[in-house]
Every structure is written in C-alpha cells, then in structure tokens.
C-alpha cells in the first residue's frame, strides 16, 4: 500500500496535529470502512482471512479492536462492507462484484454500488465486526444465525436477512462406517461433529426428528465428540478414531467411494436444512435501502455466471486459487442458487421454519438463542421492491420434489434411517420431498 507524501509548513503541521488529536481513533477506521484504506494479506490481495484468531489483523499491525467504530450511517450510500466465508454458494455475489472490490464493468459497477468483500472464515470474528460496525453485512447460514441470535440481542444489534442466496444441495452430511445404516445404529457409536457448526445442527436435527426414544436421543447428543472444524472431524473418521462424522464435501464423496464407509445422510435428501443468506445491520439497511436492493438484484442477475465464470472466485477465495474449471463446476453442484421467486417464498415460509427448528436444536444442546428475532429477521420488502426486474413466472430452484419411480427408493431409504415406518418424519417445509407416505406402495 502506497501513500502520497507532502512537504508541510510549520503552521500546517500544527493544524494537522490538532486535527489528529480531535480525530484520534476515528479517522483511520473511517478510511478502512469506506474502502479508502485497503486491507491486504501477504499476497497483497485486498482481503481479510481469519481462522481461529480473536481479532482481524491489518497490514499496519493494528487489529479491529484497536480501531474506534463509527456509525453505519457514516458509510457512503452506495458502499457495502461485507464478509463471506469460503463457500461456493456465495459465488453469485463475487461474480456480480468482479472480485474483492467492485470492478467498473461488473454487474454491481453498472448498478452504481461498491461492495468490499472480506473473506472471514471465523463466524465469531465476523459477528464481532458486524456488531462493532466494521462490517455492514455478513454471509451466514440460517443455522448459524440462530446460534448468533442471542449474541446480537445482548449487544443491542438489530439485524435482518432480506436475501437467501443458496441452499446446500449435498454439500453437507453425515458419513458413517458401512455397518451403521439406521438412526438406531447411532446409539453407542462414536460420533464426531465440528462444534457450533452447521454440521452439528444436522446431526442433532437428524436425531431429534427420528423415532428414537427421548433417552436414546439424549444419549447420542450428550456424547457427541467435538472437533474444531468439519475437516478435523472427517480426518478422525478416516483415521478410524470415530465411527460417524458430520462434515462436508469433498469428504462425503471420499466416504462414498470407500468400501467400508458411506454417506448416511446428506442435504441432498433435505436441501432446505442448510440455507445461506446475507445478514445486514438493520440500521444500515434502513438508511441505505436502495443500495441493499441493488446488491440483491445484482447477485440474482449474476446467477447466470455460476458455472461459466471462474476467475473472480479464484482471486477471492484461497481454496479455489489453483482449482480447475471442472473442479469449481463440481463444487457448484453442492450448492444451488436461489431465484427471486425462491426468495419471495422462502422469506415468508421455509426460512422461518428453519430458523425455528435451529433455535430448537441449539436450545436442546444447552445454547441460548433469541427466538423472538423470528418476528423481524426475514424482511421481504427489499425483494418486493425489485420485483419489476424479475418475471413473476420465474421458475423456482427450491420447488418440492414429488415422489416418482426414479426417486422412490432414495426416499424409502431416507425414511428408514429416521425410523422403521413408512411415514415421513421430516418437519414440514424442511424436506426436499413431501406427502410421500400417501404415494409409496
């Protein structure tokens, strides 16, 4: 990062000294927040990557805790500072932006907004920054939002999720040794989960919605072996240290290709269980509603680039730096992007159901949640305000899949995992299929 240097008179120096005293703690942060001062990593890319750190470290040696937060209303009307983790489902935002910062010829550039993307893999880190005001928005699953809800409430930070970007389509799941084939086989098994993760909620939801007895459910949940990350859980599984692991791709595929392991359950069978959305500081969104609407519009328009444009995501996300086009396309299959119509429906229905379900999951393992956030969290006014840009006959990507001869066996097997009966035990609106009991023969 280079700065211009000037030769100053004695009077000018005195004036600047006074200004520095008056603005101490605020001026530096304002530059970072508005994008005038760029955050860079060791490769000189304008990105913040954090993993198991307490603070965001800037290239001048300071941390976000050293900087004084300013009001979100101080941000330029057309600028959004956002954090995303390394998940393929955020690709439409990255494509709309043309990289970490908005490119003039990008979709966002043509819409007249600026988006500064920071890659932050630690949800504690990004939520701290959102609460403090360093960020205006952050990408989270609804599962994670439920977990963070009490944290936001305790900090008096109002948040909304006006946009669901994607849902996991087989990207998350539970792998197991080949002898574990039903939920009953989980009783007494060594089960590893990444703590406070979407994968942990997947296991707890799976167990809670089975026909196990309450004591069996509690035995499984209370004896889960906790790991730091989905990667750690998968590695312990393949090393023979545990019999079951909640994890994500590419470990699901790896287990599927082994003779002594398989995928016990994945989001292919219940796609809405893990949905991603953009959480905005409500005050920022209220003041800059036009910018938020253009942000959503641009991301939806960029859906067409999902499996054709790969340069931007390689620049933004380290995990894709050296990935081939084919590898990125394969990753795209594990997350399915939502449409405008999906958002119109999800924000008024399934998203609320999932939030309620996940609050129940976290509560069942002793975590505090703010269930009342449900009343204000999913705001569809921004989607409604851009309706003229999208067709009312647009096809939904999240429509319920009916039972057919082709998928009947998969549904039967999934039901068998949860119990021994032919009745569907998925919570309403959370499963990929519905009313299958009346169709199965």
* Domain 34-166+274-389 shares a fold with domain 172-266: yes
Mean pLDDT to the nearest integer, 291-311: 96
Determine the pLDDT at residue 435: 40
Give residue-wise pLDDT tens across range 307-348.
999 999 999 999 899 999 999 998 898 899 999 999 999 999
Instruction: Please give the C-alpha separations between residue 231 and each of 36, 92, 242, 276, 326, in angstroms, as whole numbers.
Output: 36, 25, 13, 20, 22
Nearest to 44 by CA among 59, 57, 34: 59
Q: Which token pair is 133?
A: 């005001």
Residue labelled with tokens 């082709």: 406
- pLDDT above 70 covers what percent of the chain? 71
Measured distance CA(332)–CA(1) in Å, rounded: 34
Give residue-wise pLDDT tens across range 174-207.
999 999 998 899 999 999 999 888 888 889 988 8
Mean pLDDT to the nearest integer, 350-361: 93
Which of 252-266, 275-289, 381-395 has the largest mean confidence?
275-289
Whether the predicted pLDDT of 423 surpasses 60: no
| Strand arrangement, sheet containing 335-337 | 114-119, 79-84, 137-141, 275-281, 159-168, 335-337
- pLDDT above 90 covers what percent of the chain? 57
Question: Per-residue b/e over 349-377, b at no fewer than 16 CB within 10 Å?
Answer: ebbbbbbebbbbbbeeeeeebbeebbeeb
Determine the pLDDT at residue 394: 58
Q: Which token pair is 426?
A: 């998925």
Helical ranges in 61-197 per DSSP H: 91-97, 107-111, 123-132, 142-154
- Give the residue extent of every domain in the chain: 34-166+274-389, 172-266, 403-441
Beta-carbon contacts of residue 225 (< 8 Å; ≥ 6 apart)? 190, 191, 192, 193, 236, 242
Least confident stretch, 15-19, 168-172, 210-214, 434-438: 434-438
Determine the pLDDT at residue 197: 86
What SS3 class is residue 13? helix
Nearest to 354 by CA among 154, 220, 164, 118: 164
Q: How many CB atoms lie within 10 A of CB 12?
A: 11
On whether the CB atoms of residues 400 and 432 are closer than 8 A, the answer is yes
Q: How many CB atoms lie within 10 A of CB 271?
A: 24
User: Max CA-CA distance within the chain?
Assistant: 91
Rg, the chain, Cα only: 23
User: How is domain 34-166+274-389 classified at the architecture level of CATH?
Assistant: 3-Layer(aba) Sandwich (3.40)
Whether the predicted pLDDT of 234 surpasses 60: yes
Determine the pLDDT at residue 223: 93
Which of 59-63, 148-152, 229-233 has the largest mean confidence?
148-152
Give residue-wise pLDDT tens across range 387-407.
999 975 555 555 443 434 454
The class of domain 172-266 in CATH terms is: alpha beta
Measured distance CA(263)–CA(225) in Å, rounded: 19
Determine the pLDDT at residue 265: 86
């Amino acid at each position: 990062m280079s700065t211009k240097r000037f030769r100053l008179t004695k009077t000018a120096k005195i004036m600047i000294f006074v200004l520095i005293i008056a603005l101490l703690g605020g001026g530096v942060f304002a530059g970072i927040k508005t994008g005038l001062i760029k955050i860079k990593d060791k490769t000189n890319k304008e990105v913040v990557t954090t993993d198991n750190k307490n603070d965001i470290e800037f290239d001048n040696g300071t941390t976000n805790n050293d900087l004084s937060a300013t009001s979100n209303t101080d941000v330029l009307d057309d600028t959004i500072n956002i954090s995303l983790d390394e998940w393929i489902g955020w690709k439409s935002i990255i494509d709309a932006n043309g990289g970490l910062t908005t490119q003039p010829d990008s979709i966002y550039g043509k819409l007249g907004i600026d988006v500064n993307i920071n890659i932050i893999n630690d949800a504690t880190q990004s939520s701290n920054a959102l609460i403090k005001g360093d960020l205006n928005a952050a990408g989270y699953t609804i599962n994670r939002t439920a977990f963070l809800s009490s944290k936001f409430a305790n900090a008096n930070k109002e948040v909304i999720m006006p946009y669901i970007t994607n849902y996991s389509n087989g990207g998350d799941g539970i792998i197991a040794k080949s002898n574990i084939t039903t939920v009953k086989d989980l009783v007494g098994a060594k089960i590893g989960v990444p703590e406070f993760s979407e994968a942990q909620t997947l296991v707890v939801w799976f167990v809670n919605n089975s026909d196990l007895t309450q004591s069996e459910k509690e035995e499984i949940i209370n004896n889960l072996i906790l790991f730091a990350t989905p990667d750690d859980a998968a590695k312990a599984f393949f090393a023979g240290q545990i019999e079951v692991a909640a994890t994500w791709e590419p470990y699901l595929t790896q287990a599927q290709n082994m003779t002594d392991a398989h995928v016990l359950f994945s989001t292919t069978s219940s796609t809405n269980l893990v949905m991603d959305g953009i959480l905005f500081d409500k005050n920022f969104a209220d003041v800059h509603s036009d910018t938020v609407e253009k942000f959503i519009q641009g991301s939806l328009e960029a859906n067409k680039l999902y499996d054709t444009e790969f340069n931007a995501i390689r620049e933004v996300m380290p995990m894709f730096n050296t990935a081939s086009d084919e590898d990125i396309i394969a990753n795209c299959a594990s997350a399915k992007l939502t449409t405008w119509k999906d958002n119109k429906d999800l924000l008024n229905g399934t998203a609320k159901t999932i939030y309620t379900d996940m609050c129940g999951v976290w509560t069942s393992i002793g975590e505090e949640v703010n269930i009342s956030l449900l009343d204000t969290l999913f705001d569809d006014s921004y989607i409604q305000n851009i309706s003229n840009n999208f067709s009312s006959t647009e096809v939904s990507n999240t429509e319920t899949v009916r039972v057919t001869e082709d998928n009947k066996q998969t549904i039967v097997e999934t039901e068998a995992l949860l119990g021994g009966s032919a009745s569907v035990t998925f919570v309403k609106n959370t499963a990929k299929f519905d009313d299958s009991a009346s169709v199965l023969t």
